[in-house]
Structure 1
Amino acid sequence: MGHARPTFERRQLGLVLRRLRERTGMTQQASAEVLGKVRSRIVQLEDGSATASMEDLDKLLDCYNVTGDERTTVVELGQQARRRQKRRVHVDNLPDAYRRFADLEASASEINCFETGVIPGLLQSEGYIQALLAEADGVLWSADDSQGEDRSVYRLDRQSRLLGEGDRRIMRFVVTEDALRANMGAPEVMREQLTHLLALIDKMPDLNIRVLQADSYGNPLRGSGLTIFGFGERGTPIGYSSPVFGPSTYYDGEPEATAMLRAFYRSWEAALSREASRRLIQHIAKE
């Protein structure tokens, strides 16, 4: 392994390897012993500040019992991580991109999210998730797609990882008013969703949810959706553009991530306060 700056590709590889190691129940020390190296090298690899040779990566994947398509994907991530690449737009064309999004999300110390017309994934109730996926079933993917159940479980797993008690990361969400009034599934689905939002606001004082009203001016993100992940001193921010169809797109260049964060804050400032947002959600739930 060689020491390197945490590029987006190295960060992705490291997060995947951490998830695979934890899945087997192995410690970082045990993984290091497989490679004949000190524990700090596994720490560096999982933090995205080190690269792994193909030989070392094969040893780890053998140790973690990774086979088939999953192994092929991790090997490709390893090849990407070893290339010298400038910070730029990164398009994730590999299988199971949603899992790597969840890894990146869970590792962030700050999450800023804006969505138009839909409740952000971390804030969705179980019924809303099912209704949302049902709308795309047979349209954006085939009706017999084997990943259908995975998509639902994945969203609920994301929520359990990030919305648990004691989580101190900064999370800001701007929800548009049309998302609160949408006809998603059935009236009872939306009532459940609105009640779920109110419960999150009451339960988690550090969770920041604001509603952007339909008649608001000065929204530079109108008609779009994005998420910006912050990592404090562990690396520069990474922006994510929400796709309707196609691969996931990330921006790890400082100018792009800064512009995305600036646009988010403009929408954040245009939205209602936390308490005023709560009152509006309550009002819509009673309509």
Structure 2
Amino acid sequence: MRGGNRVGQARQTVERLQLGLTLHRLRLAADKSQQEAAEVIGRSAGRLSQVENGKGALGTEELTRLLDFYRVSGVERATVLALGRASRRRQPRLGYLDSLPDSYVRFMDLLAAAQRISWYECGIIPGLVQSPSYVTGIHRAGSSLRPDEETTERIAFRRNLQQQVLSVGKAESIDVIFTEDALLHVVGDASVMREQVLHLLQLQEQHPVLSIRVIALDTPDNPGLGGGLVSLEYDTAAPIAYATSLYGPPIYYDQPAPTERMRNLFEGVADIALSPRDSRTMLLDFLARSS
């Protein structure tokens, strides 16, 4: 058997999808074809395609050959090998804690590959639609909790996130919902908040697949108070749910029970959110009051 730890087509998990998307990104960055990469590890292009689509895993020897071929070294190399080990685990687990370096890059990979994105936040503007100054303000406010270098990287990531997901990604539907108090919590100063609201209105105009809705302050019985979530649906992979957090490593869920519960929670907040048209009116009213 070539490359120990070889497995056949496996059940899709967050770890396998992250590994596949990472390998796909690294192959493109190295300007290598799927056929060229497959020959390096003695596999067919079809088999490598399965892995890149999260439907299989590779052994350590095979991953090492690919990383050599792609000229990947250092922390990034170690991270891919760790992802490979995680992708071959078969023991049941409720959630997957992504504590590997640069977890936000893999989060962007997952978002960019999704066909349907549902994002809800309570008390903060969702990351996918944050304006540049709002992004900077959020991360500068928490800079004491992380190294300056990491803060800079995360700011750059958030700015790149919209381009990768809204303009380049595969999403056919993006539903973003947040609570009205996100407009009242001042990030930076009043000018930053005005820029943020203008940014939301512009994104609505520029991206027809994007729906932005607000839950009014006086709406009773919001089932999503105190938390945030992202629900991702794929054409060729099982749904993934993610509990959002400004600080700390992300936790992903791919088992049917938790992803269905989180999807139901999103549908609950969607039921009480204002329509896109009424949400737009609220945002315009905010601008009028703050001028």
The aligned counterpart of 2:287 is 285
1:126 aligns with 2:128: no
SS at match of 1:245: coil
Question: Is contact 1:181-1:284 (8 Å) kept?
Answer: no
Question: Is contact 1:226-1:241 (8 Å) kept?
Answer: yes
Match of 1:245 among 244, 247, 260: 247
Q: CA deviation at 1:87?
A: 5.5
1:161 aligns with 2:167: no
> In 1, distance between residues paired with 2:84 and 2:186?
43
Q: CA deviation at 1:172?
A: 0.4
> In 1, distance between residues paired with 2:163 and 2:248?
27
- Deviation per CA, 1:195-240: give whole Å up to 9, x if none: 11111112223211110011111211101011111113x1221110
> In 2, distance between residues paired with 1:111 and 1:53?
32
Match of 1:261 among 257, 263, 268: 263
> In 2, distance between residues paired with 1:166 and 1:16?
15
Question: Is contact 2:177-2:214 (8 Å) kept?
Answer: yes
1:152 aligns with 2:155: yes
> In 1, distance between residues paired with 2:243 and 2:169?
29
The aligned counterpart of 1:205 is 208
Q: Root-mean-square deviation (CA), in Å?
A: 1.5
> In 1, distance between residues paired with 2:273 and 2:40?
52
> In 2, distance between residues paired with 1:151 and 1:246?
13
> In 1, distance between residues paired with 2:175 and 2:84?
32
The aligned counterpart of 1:223 is 226
SS at match of 1:164: helix
Q: CA deviation at 1:166?
A: 8.9
What TM-score does the superposition give when structure 1 sets the normalisation length? Answer: 0.94
Deviates more, 1:111-120 or 1:202-211: 202-211
Gap regions ≥5 residues in structure 1: none
The aligned counterpart of 2:199 is 196
Letter in 1 for 2:139: L
Matches within 5 A, 1:18-37: 18-37=24-43
The aligned counterpart of 2:3 is none
Q: CA deviation at 1:272?
A: 0.4
Q: How many percent of aligned residue pairs carry the same amino acid?
A: 40
> In 2, distance between residues paired with 1:247 and 1:55?
28
**1:166/1:50 Cα in 2 relative to 1: closer, same or farther (>3 Å)?**
closer
Question: Is contact 2:240-2:252 (8 Å) kept?
Answer: yes
Question: Is contact 1:18-1:46 (8 Å) kept?
Answer: yes
Letter in 2 for 1:202: E
Q: CA deviation at 1:22?
A: 1.4
1:172 aligns with 2:175: yes
SS at match of 1:211: strand
SS at match of 1:163: helix
The aligned counterpart of 1:77 is 83
- Deviation per CA, 1:227-254: give whole Å up to 9, x if none: 111113x122111011243221111111
> In 2, distance between residues paired with 1:141 and 1:168?
31
Q: CA deviation at 1:57?
A: 0.5
**1:159/1:84 Cα in 2 relative to 1: closer, same or farther (>3 Å)?**
same
SS at match of 1:3: coil
Q: CA deviation at 1:91?
A: 0.9
> In 2, distance between residues paired with 1:168 and 1:117?
25
> In 2, distance between residues paired with 1:182 and 1:133?
15
1:48 aligns with 2:50: no
> In 1, distance between residues paired with 2:121 and 2:157?
19
> In 2, distance between residues paired with 1:20 and 1:81?
17
Letter in 1 for 2:219: S
- Which segments of structure 1 move beyond 6 Å, counting only runs of 4 or more? none
> In 1, distance between residues paired with 2:170 and 2:60?
36
**1:91/1:267 Cα in 2 relative to 1: closer, same or farther (>3 Å)?**
same
> In 2, distance between residues paired with 1:285 and 1:133?
24
